[in-house]
Amino acid sequence: MFSFRDATIKKKLTWMSALASASALLLAGSSFFAYHLVTYRSALVRNLVIQADTIGLNSVPSLRFDDKKSATETLSALRADPNIIAAAVYSADGNLFASYAGNGGNGQAIARVVPPGRSDAIRFDGRRLRLLHAIVAEGEQLGTVDVSYSLNDLYADAARYAAIAAVVLLISLGAALLASSRIQRSFSEPIARLAAAAGAISHEKDYSVRVEPTRNRDELGVLIGTFNEMLAQIQVRDAEVEAGKARFQGLNEELEARVLRRTAELEATNKELEAFTYSVSHDLRAPLRRIDGFAKLLVDDYGPQLPADAARYLSRVREGARQMGTLVDDLLNLARLGRQELKQQVTGLSSIVEHVTTGLKREIEDREIEWKIQPLPFIECDPGLMGVVFTNLLSNAVKYTRPRQHAVIEVGTVEQNGHPVVFVRDNGVGFSMKYADKLFGVFQRLHRAEDFEGTGVGLATVDRILRKHGGAIWAEAELDKGACFYFTVGSTPTDGPGSRSTQGGTLNAAQAS
């Protein structure tokens, strides 16, 4: 269905100009016509009244002397006006006194009796106008003049007038349409071009399209100019974006290539490291075993023949070999940790601690140790590695409480920034916080080997495991009072003593207890 709203601008403009010109013409024509009709009619009436008055005056003597003949003659003077269909003079009592039938008229128009009236009566009656006019002389009504006037001429005039108006209307409508189509071309064509260009751009993303400019410097001309300018800007920007994209892609490819190269290098390094670890573990252990083995054979087979010093030296040799063996093993474990993938699962720390303490208790049956183990949380971690963490921390606690008659080892949690922090506390020999920063370094020891055996790898291993989990470890201690190790697994609390730094830590319950 046709809808004006969806019509093209061209059609709308055509309709608008047609409507405007037609309505202007109709309004002008009809008001002119109406004015004309009114003035014509009032002129007609005035004219008719004058004629009726003239007839009335001329008929006064005839009525006085009852001279019907002269009255008829007077009436016949109306012949001069062909539009007068009929006329009559009535006596004062209203009876027909004289009559006249005009061209084309007949006696029917004449009434036999007309009631006397002092004033004029005008009646438009279809195609004729009838006027009744009183004949008055010296204040006395002597009779009435009756004139009927044909309006045929008037109607014919009106018809001609309407015909001319219609022709003028049609011609001017045609002219208006023609003119509007000329004028509107300067609107609608640029708009159509703009619309086509916009469509092409939005469909094909071709910003090189330009709208052909108009010669006019009107708003449309400005619009097209601005539109083209905008397109030029978009084209430039588009080109920049494309270039940027290409550059970005290039960079990306380069980066990817670099990552691949680095990965390959890293893999090669890893392989080398693995090979190194493998041969270290094999090649370093073998000579150590020989040193110890043959020293032992020497002691076994020739012990009795050896001087006391020689036997003592041999035992030193064996001790050295064994110690180095432990060191190699610890180092290898630490190195393996670096390559090992975390196998995380939700694990109850309590069961790990229980497992570790059970193993430890078997080794130290002669010691008096009070274990205070609080319930521990379930967390996401590698249970095997978490076992290594607790084994190291708890065997350290056992080791460094050795001089204590009554050793107390505590495991529990405290809350820090909403995260659980696990602690392992002992009342052992502790250490000076001065050296706290060395605590987690490889081969770093805070105690002399003859006091407490050890390789200095254990806490470094623990630190590495926890960092691999995204956690952290720190410690607080006081010399000869005890030590407390705190650690988190997973996300580390962001502030507070949760940082890796152990320096300047405040003394807390570890020392107070």
Partner 1 sequence: MPHKQVEILLVEDNPDDAELAVQALRRDKLANEIAIARDGEEALDFIFCRGPHANRSFESPPRLVLLDLKLPKVNGLDVLKAIKGDPRTKAIPVVIMTSSREERDLVEGYRLGSNAYVQKPIDFDQFRKVVKALGMFWLVINEPPPPQTFEAN
Give the residue with the Cβ less far from partner 1, 104 or 338: 338
- DSSP letter, residue 143: E
Give the residue with the Cβ less far from partner 1, 93 or 274: 274
**Closest separation in Å from C-beta 273 to partner 1:** 13
Tokens at 194, concatenated: 């703009």
Give the residue with the Cβ less far from partner 1, 246 or 286: 286
SS3 of 492, please?
A: coil
Give the residue with the Cβ less far from partner 1, 35 or 294: 294
Give the residue with the Cβ less far from partner 1, 288 or 393: 288
> How many CB atoms within 10 Å of residue 57?
14
- Strand order, beta sheet including 369-373: 369-373, 407-416, 419-426, 482-488, 472-478
Q: State the Cα angle at 264 between 259 and 267, rounded to 5°.
A: 120
Give the residue with the Cβ less far from partner 1, 72 or 281: 281
Residues in touch with partner 1 (CB under 8 A): 278, 281-283, 285-286, 288-290, 292-297, 300, 318, 321-322, 325, 336
**Closest separation in Å from C-beta 255 to partner 1:** 33
Interacting residues of 329 by C-beta distance below 8 A, sequence separation 6+:
285
Interacting residues of 504 by C-beta distance below 8 A, sequence separation 6+:
433
Q: State the Cα angle at 178 between 175 and 196, rounded to 5°.
A: 160
Give the residue with the Cβ less far from partner 1, 382 or 476: 382
**Closest separation in Å from C-beta 275 to partner 1:** 11
Q: Which helix (H) or strand (E) holds 27?
A: helix 9-64
* CA neighbours closer than 13 Å in the CB half-sphere of residue 180: 19
Give the residue with the Cβ less far from partner 1, 295 or 466: 295
SS3 of 424, please?
A: strand
Give the residue with the Cβ less far from partner 1, 318 or 445: 318
**Closest separation in Å from C-beta 281 to partner 1:** 4
**Closest separation in Å from C-beta 265 to partner 1:** 22
**Closest separation in Å from C-beta 289 to partner 1:** 5
Question: Which residue stretches of 303-382 are H helix?
Answer: 308-339, 349-363
Gap between the Cα atoms of 163 and 156, Å rounded? 11
**Closest separation in Å from C-beta 358 to partner 1:** 23
**Closest separation in Å from C-beta 314 to partner 1:** 12
Tokens at 213, concatenated: 């400019």
Give the residue with the Cβ less far from partner 1, 176 or 321: 321
Tokens at 506, concatenated: 């405040």
345 vs 338, 379, 380, 492, CA distance in Å?
A: 19, 8, 5, 18
**Closest separation in Å from C-beta 284 to partner 1:** 9
Gap between the Cα atoms of 352 and 346, Å rounded? 12
**Closest separation in Å from C-beta 327 to partner 1:** 11
End-to-end CA distance of the chain: give it in Å, rounded: 95
- Structure-token match 């300018």, residue found: 229
Tokens at 399, concatenated: 């080791």
